[in-house]
Amino acid sequence: MRRRRVVALVGAGAVLAVCGGGGVATLVAWSQAGLDTAGQVDFRNRLAVPPLAESRIDREGRRVFDLRAQEGRTDFGRDEATRTWGFDGDYLGPTLRAKRGERVLVNVVNGLDEPTSVHWHGMHLPARMDGGPHQEVRPGATWSPHWTVGQPAATLWYHPHPHGETAKHVLRGLAGMFILDDERSEGLALPREYGVDDIPVIVQDRQFDSRGRFREGSGTGDTILVNGIPGAYLDVRTERVRLRLLNASNSRMYTFGLSDDRPFTLIGSDGGLLPAPHSMTRIRLSPGERAEIVVGMEAGENVTLRSFPTNLHNILSDRFAGIRDMLDVLQLRAESNLARSPEVPAVLAPIEPLGPASAVTTRKFALSGRQINGERMDMGRIDEVVTRDTTEIWEITKEDGTLHNFHVHDVQFQVLSVGGVKPPVELSGWKDTILLPPNETVRIIARFADYADPDVPYMYHCHILSHEDAGMMGQFVVVEPGQKAGRPDTQGHHKSHG
């Protein structure tokens, strides 16, 4: 029988909620200390690993993938199956994988009965291939973006980005991983056998109603899914396992660590491997961020990947992002015989620092309410014009009491400072999304190397999806020197959201 243990209730006004089966906690408690499922999750479902997407090489030598957004039904262990959306399946999508230098083409088919889009989060590519709100795919239509992979090995991801509707589409299940390799990553003695010692860990929270349906509000959920599986465990067969952590949740923050506080090795951030590995015990990921970690295991032992409360002061609506919560995420179960794994190499992928002196301008972005610099997203307005082949500093400040982060399309950036001081190691590599700490300015630097197009903008936005949908997003174009911004196409985008 399943182990049942009642969590001690802390604080007045605590609520006791009983959840359905499905391998998740039978009893969870909310209190002023937050939701706590540590030790309460019954890990009885084997972790599913998203299949690697099949691909073929076309006559022009391009690697071609097919991706179809469709409706489905998923059994999350509730009384009734949940209506979900997925790519090529019922929930989530296959892992796309390509190598630096390759040309790729993806045939995106919209099998839903409403418009969607597919954005390649973290990918450097032309704006019209980016899959943002200007590249909407109508029901029944096929959209076939193509580009050359011109960036280092990294753990990227893809998800819809339709204007004002992103939260709903991602929450229903449209998301997947996009892994990039390069010569360097292939030559490093890191765990790299997909699904064996190199594991995608797509972390999402969901709230179910009594009929097993997803609650689609903007709050956090009490059930953690990893690769779409609640109460998941992973059988570890090697001394070291690499976890590609992706926070694919709509609004929840995670501070990952292991249940016995053992250190793990951080090897990569959003845009690729770090110059050197770092031993640490916690890694914080806001929505959209990724981290690659290597965990060492002893034969026969179990340890749980857990999210610990996040230490952030002055956040008023912290309950909303779940920063006080303690959540069991994934159990790692080592087999009684483990295959040998080499030590993590001392040198990973050197990164050339972008010097602040090379920046041609410093732009300021203030986030407050659901606005950036006092404006809500307008599909017809270009907010910033960047010149191709220049480097810029962006200064981002959060000016309200809510949790926000900041994501930039097109580029991977480097973090110059957080609150005036040098960033911690987890922010020392390539990033495309960064948490905005309260009352502290984040300074980032990026080079907008190529892909000028005056008419098609890239986005920058808060990656808390309900904020993004409510307008906390802006648009920039990259133009040739001396060129002016053109006019973005707003055909067919009449919805406004408040």
Query: Which chain residues interact with Cu ion by CB under 5 A?
Result: 121, 404, 409, 462, 464, 467
Q: Choose one: 22-30, 207-215, 386-394, 455-463; the region binding ligand C2O (CB under 6 A).
A: 455-463
Site membership for ligand C2O, residue 459 (CB under 6 A): yes
Out of ligand C2O, Cu ion, none, which partner does residue 404 contact, by CB within 5 to 8 A per kind?
A: Cu ion
Among residues 484 and 495, whose Cβ is nearest to ligand C2O? Answer: 495
Site membership for ligand C2O, residue 407 (CB under 6 A): yes
C-alpha 220/C-alpha 233 separation (Å) is 22
| Beta carbon of residue 317, minimum distance to Cu ion (angstroms, whole number) | 10
Site for ligand C2O in 108-137 (CB under 6 A): 119, 121
Site for ligand C2O in 230-259 (CB under 6 A): none
C-alpha 232/C-alpha 333 separation (Å) is 11
Out of Cu ion, ligand C2O, none, which partner does residue 288 contact, by CB within 5 to 8 A per kind?
A: ligand C2O
3-state secondary structure of 467: helix
Among residues 134 and 467, whose Cβ is nearest to Cu ion? Answer: 467
Using CB under 6 A as the binding criterion, the count of chain residues that bind ligand C2O stands at: 10
Bridge partners, 52 (sequence order): 95
Contacts of 328 (CB under 8 A, 6+ apart): 37, 38, 39, 40, 41, 43, 224, 259, 304, 305, 306
Out of ligand C2O, Cu ion, none, which partner does residue 462 contact, by CB within 5 to 8 A per kind?
A: Cu ion
C-alpha 209/C-alpha 26 separation (Å) is 15
Contacts of 469 (CB under 8 A, 6+ apart): 164, 165, 166, 167, 497
Site membership for ligand C2O, residue 288 (CB under 6 A): yes
| Beta carbon of residue 179, minimum distance to ligand C2O (angstroms, whole number) | 16
Q: 110, 137 in Cβ contact below 8 A?
A: yes
Q: What DSSP string runs through 20-68?
A: --TTS-SEEEE-TT--B-TTT----EEPP-PPBPP-EE-TTS-EEEEEE
| Beta carbon of residue 51, minimum distance to ligand C2O (angstroms, whole number) | 22
Structure tokens, 444: 């980032």
Among residues 426 and 468, whose Cβ is nearest to ligand C2O? Answer: 468
C-alpha 59/C-alpha 54 separation (Å) is 17
Q: How many CA atoms lie within 13 A of 275 on its CB side?
A: 9
Out of ligand C2O, Cu ion, none, which partner does residue 461 contact, by CB within 5 to 8 A per kind?
A: ligand C2O
Q: 190, 294 in Cβ contact below 8 A?
A: yes
Site membership for ligand C2O, residue 431 (CB under 6 A): no
Question: For residue 216, which phi and psi values (nearest 5 degrees)?
Answer: -105, 20
Q: Which residue is nearest to ligand C2O (CB)?
A: 121
Among residues 250 and 255, whose Cβ is nearest to ligand C2O? Answer: 250
Footprint on this chain of ligand C2O (rule: CB under 6 A): 119, 121, 159, 161, 288, 407, 409, 459, 461, 463
